[in-house]
Amino acid sequence: MAQPGFVPPSSADFFFNPAVGSSILATKPVMLLLFSVILISAFFIVSARKAAVVPSRLQFAGEMVYGFVRDGISRDVIGEEFQRFVPLLFAIFTFILTNNLFGVIPLMQFPTMSHIGFPVSVTIFVYVVYHFVAIKKKGLGRYLKEMCFMPGVPKPVYVILAPVEFLTYFAVRPLTLAMRLFGNMFAGHLLLLLFTLGGQYMLKSALFVKFFSILSFGLAIGLSFFEMGIQCLQAYIFTLLAALYIAGALADEH
Amino acid sequence: MATQLLVKAAAVYKDAPSPVVPSVAEIIVGLVAFSILFVLLRTKAVPMFEKAYAARTSAIEGGMERAESAQREAEAALKAYTAQLNEARGEAQSIREEARVQGAAIIEDLRGKAQEEATRITAAARASIEAERQQAVSSLRHEVGALATELASKIVGEALEDQVRQSGIVDRFLVDLEKSEK
């Protein structure tokens, strides 16, 4: 056993030492996150700056993303009062999409959202907003009553249904929202790591095994494109669910 | 070998924090970063995009409105033009009417004037004829007197000549003659 065995990637690979000092601000995910804020705001502020009737190519690109969130998600899901929530949903979508895509962009190659703290922070926003909107609109009592006792159900069923509904609104929704995004990004990145590190390991092995590294690298590349799809999809799902929760909070009955 | 791997893996996992337990620091960083992004997009990007949308909508609506107003204007112009044309036609009609009336008046006037002139000429002619007649009558009278006197003096003698002249016998005779004629 002269040669060290293959060490599979683990959750440890997701944790980085600070580049300088010991502050968390200097770790890779945080720096990527802050970079994404600069990148997104710069892009959209610059592209929207002129607000021309006939858009330039840049403005058109910005409007395409904005229009997708505004009309494709916000208006279609929330309806009448959608305009109020467009900035939030727009920020959520671009924030998550950009940070997810960092996972396949060369040199960055780390999906920030695979650190659960970040999905959690966005989820906190959504959580606060949809409860706040509902309480403001219906009042706390009516909100809780409508939540736990949906009409048209036989009375004894409420014994089970009421706690389930309550848990759904207050625990399951935020948990699933954050976990879904985190899990997808985490697993995707782990998968890419596995095939990349595996290929690397096999490349250093015996000649016969070297050939298999081609297969491994090929898979890593193919999966990168697959990941790109998932990253876009997850950003969309997160935004869509946020819109759905807000729409549910605004609806008179659910 | 398997146990070695496991030991190795266990060593790695022990060092690393659990991936599902969020780090509070990261949550705070995430909240702050997201808040900044949210505020920036909300104040700088979204209003501008909405402005562009609104401008586009109003440009389309404005274009339609402009077309409509142009059509209205055209219709109004046509109406005004038609009205003007009718008015002009009426005016022409009235001018023709007036001209005809005026023409008739002028003709009437000229005719009157001609009549008057004719009357005047006739009257003048008549007066001159009368004057000439009077003149002829008086000269005739005078000559008749002279001839008669001459004749009478030839008959009666020269002596009577002065006496006749003084007493106006001839005139009396002529007056008597006229009277008897009547």
pLDDT tens digits for range A7-19? 888 888 888 888 7
* Residue with more model confidence, A48 or A23: A48
Question: Domain for residue B2, yes or no?
Answer: no
**pLDDT class of A224 with cuts at 50, 70, 90:** very high
pLDDT tens track for A193-217: 999 998 888 888 888 888 888 899 9
* Domain of residue A84, residue span: 16-250
* pLDDT of B104: 93
Distance CA A112, CA A102 (A): 7
Question: Domain for residue B57, yes or no?
Answer: yes
Helices vs. strands in chain B: H and E counts, helices first:
5, 0
Check whether A181 has a pLDDT greater than 80: yes
Question: Domain for residue A134, yes or no?
Answer: yes
Residues 61-120 of A with CB under 8 A from B: 62-63, 66, 70, 86-88, 90-91, 94-95, 114-118, 120
Residues 190-209 of A with CB under 8 A from B: none
Q: How far is A46 from chain B (nearest CA, A)?
A: 8
List, as own/partner pairs, every contact residues A80-86 make where C-beta atoms lie below 8 angstroms and the sequence separation is at least 24, other chains included: A81/A250, A85/A129, A85/A243, A85/A246, A86/B46
* pLDDT of B1: 56
pLDDT tens track for A90-101: 999 999 999 999
Question: Domain for residue B15, yes or no?
Answer: no
pLDDT tens track for B106-158: 999 999 999 999 999 999 999 999 999 999 888 888 888 788 877 777 777 66
Question: Domain for residue B6, yes or no?
Answer: no
* pLDDT of A97: 96
- Percent share of chain A, pLDDT over 70: 98
- Percent share of chain A, pLDDT over 90: 62
* Domain of residue B162, residue span: 24-181
* pLDDT of A1: 38
Check whether A175 has a pLDDT greater than 90: yes
Q: Do A30 and B37 touch (CB under 8 A)?
A: no
Q: Which residue of B has its CA nearest to A45?
A: B45
The 3 state secondary structure assigned to chain A is: CCCCCCCCCCHHHHCCCCCCCCCHHHCHHHHHHHHHHHHHHHHHHHHHCCCCCCCCHHHHHHHHHHHHHHHHHHHHHHCHHHHHHHHHHHHHHHHHHHHHHCCCCCCCCCCHHHCCHHHHHHHHHHHHHHHHHHHHHHCHHHHHHHHHCCCCCCHHHHHHHHHHHHHHHHHHHHHHHHHHHHHHHHHHHHHHHHHHHHHHHHHCCCHHHHHHHHHHHHHHHHHHHHHHHHHHHHHHHHHHHHHHHHHHHHCCCC
Question: Domain for residue A89, yes or no?
Answer: yes
Average pLDDT of every residue of chain A: 90
* pLDDT of B141: 81
Rounded (10°) CA dihedral B27, B32, B34, B40: 180
Check whether B159 has a pLDDT greater than 50: yes
* pLDDT of B7: 66
Q: How much is the average pLDDT of B155-172?
A: 69
Question: Domain for residue B1, yes or no?
Answer: no
Check whether B182 has a pLDDT greater than 70: no
**pLDDT class of B5 with cuts at 50, 70, 90:** low
Q: How many CA atoms lie within 13 A of A254 on its CB side?
A: 20
Q: Which residue of B has its CA nearest to A123?
A: B31
Question: Domain for residue B16, yes or no?
Answer: no
Question: Domain for residue A125, yes or no?
Answer: yes
**pLDDT class of B2 with cuts at 50, 70, 90:** low
Question: Domain for residue A70, yes or no?
Answer: yes
Query: ipTM, 2 decimals?
Result: 0.90
Distance CA B63, CA A137 (A): 40
Number of domains in chain A: 1
Number of domains in chain B: 1
CB burial readout B53-79, b (16+ within 10 A) else e:
beebeeeeeeeeeeeeeeeeeeeeeee
Question: Domain for residue A4, yes or no?
Answer: no
* pLDDT of A2: 42
Q: Do A24 and B44 touch (CB under 8 A)?
A: no
**pLDDT class of B178 with cuts at 50, 70, 90:** confident
Q: Do B25 and A24 touch (CB under 8 A)?
A: yes
Q: Do A87 and B42 touch (CB under 8 A)?
A: yes
Average pLDDT of every residue of chain B: 85
Which of the 8 DSSP states describes residue B21? S
CB A14 within 8 A of CB A112: no
Question: Domain for residue A30, yes or no?
Answer: yes
Sign of CA dihedral B138, B141, B147, B153: negative
